[in-house]
């Protein structure tokens, strides 16, 4: 069964450093999403991406964040200058028809 | 009022019990509704979409009440493996944004 994959599974970084989280969505899917979940809290929408551009973003997704689909298969989330409060699990999801979303296993980011 | 609201629980029920969760949403223009299941430190997994006419999948039944702006999930004959957090997800009409509730924790006890 096709699945969304994410790398790395864990990332530890120093405050102020840039991180890139990678996702490979399911191959025939057209809609892509990033979410985050701070430990013990709810899943929060960050951004949706369709047709090579951002279709919607939340208040959390400020200028420190960017997304890219560089090569037609990978979908990346970049955090330019990480803050302590960026520590969370980051989930990528993809969808064929803007209905059912399939989530990747997540990247656990720890900012020290 | 929160956009999507759930009772966090935990709901502790014995094996074989029937348990029901509700989720309320604030935006009457909401379009799509889903129940996801999340195990500890894992990704959310789709349990079922919720349709206006209600839908059933084995032991699970989901219903939508647009007038009162809530969706429900009923689990019959609960199993130990049903222990998880159940997430209510709502998509607002005309947006690509999906709002998650805080989740309801279920513990099924032997």
Apex B38 CA angle, B2 and A76, nearest 5: 85
Most confident of A10-24, A62-76, B50-64, B83-97: A10-24
Residue B1 pLDDT class (50, 70, 90 cuts): low
Q: Hey, which bits of chain A come out as E strands? A: 5-7, 10-13, 19-24, 31-37, 43-50, 53-57, 65-68, 75-79, 88-95, 102-103, 107-111
* CB nearest A106 (choices: B43, B46, B96): B43
Rounded to whole angstroms, how far apart are CA atoms A90 and A16? 18
Q: What percent of chain B has pLDDT over 70?
A: 99
pLDDT given at position A71: 84
- CB spacing of B95 vs A56 below 8 angstroms: yes
Rounded to whole angstroms, how far apart are CA atoms B27 and B98? 12
Mean pLDDT of chain A: 94
User: Which chain A residues touch B101 with a CB distance below 8 Å?
Assistant: 42
A31 touches chain B (CB under 8 A): yes
pLDDT given at position B51: 83
Whether A93 contacts A103, CB under 8 Å: yes
DSSP B49-108: EE-TT-EEETTEEEEEETTTTEEEEEE-S--GGG-EEEEEEEEETT-S-EEE---EEEEE
- CB spacing of A42 vs B103 below 8 angstroms: yes
Residue A38: both structure tokens together: 């701070």
Most confident of A69-78, B15-24, B85-94: B15-24
Nearest chain A alpha carbon to B35: A100
Give pLDDT tens digits for A78-112: 999 999 999 999 999 999 987 789 999 999 999 99
A45 touches chain B (CB under 8 A): yes
Residues B12-22, mean pLDDT to the nearest whole number: 96
Rounded to whole angstroms, how far apart are CA atoms B21 and B34? 13
Give pLDDT tens digits for B46-57: 999 998 888 999
Phi, psi angle pair for A84, to nearest 5°: -55, -40
- CB spacing of B98 vs A101 below 8 angstroms: yes
- CB spacing of B100 vs A43 below 8 angstroms: yes
- CB spacing of B96 vs A50 below 8 angstroms: yes
Interface of B with A (CB under 8 A): 32, 34, 38, 41-46, 49, 87, 95-103
């Amino acid at each position: 069964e096709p699945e969304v994959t994410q790398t790395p599974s864990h990332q530890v970084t120093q405050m102020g450093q840039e991180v890139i989280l990678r996702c490979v969505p399911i191959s025939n899917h057209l809609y892509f999403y990033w979410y985050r979940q701070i430990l013990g809290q709810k899943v929060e929408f960050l951004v949706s991406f369709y047709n090579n551009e951002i279709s919607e973003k939340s208040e959390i997704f400020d200028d420190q964040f960017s997304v890219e689909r560089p090569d037609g298969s990978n979908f990346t989330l970049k955090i330019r200058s990480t803050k302590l409060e960026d520590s969370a699990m980051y989930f990528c999801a993809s969808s064929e028809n803007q209905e059912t979303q399939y989530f990747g296993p997540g990247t656990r980011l720890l900012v020290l | 009022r929160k956009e999507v609201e759930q009772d966090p629980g935990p709901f502790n029920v014995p094996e074989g019990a029937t348990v029901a969760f509700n989720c309320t949403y604030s935006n009457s223009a909401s379009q799509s509704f889903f129940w996801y299941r999340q195990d500890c430190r894992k990704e959310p997994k789709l349990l079922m979409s919720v349709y206006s006419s209600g839908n059933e999948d084995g032991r699970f039944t989901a219903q939508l009440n647009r007038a009162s702006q809530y969706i429900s999930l009923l689990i019959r004959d609960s199993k130990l493996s049903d222990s998880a957090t159940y997430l209510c997800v709502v998509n607002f009409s005309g947006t690509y944004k999906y709002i998650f509730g805080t989740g309801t924790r279920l513990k099924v006890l032997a």
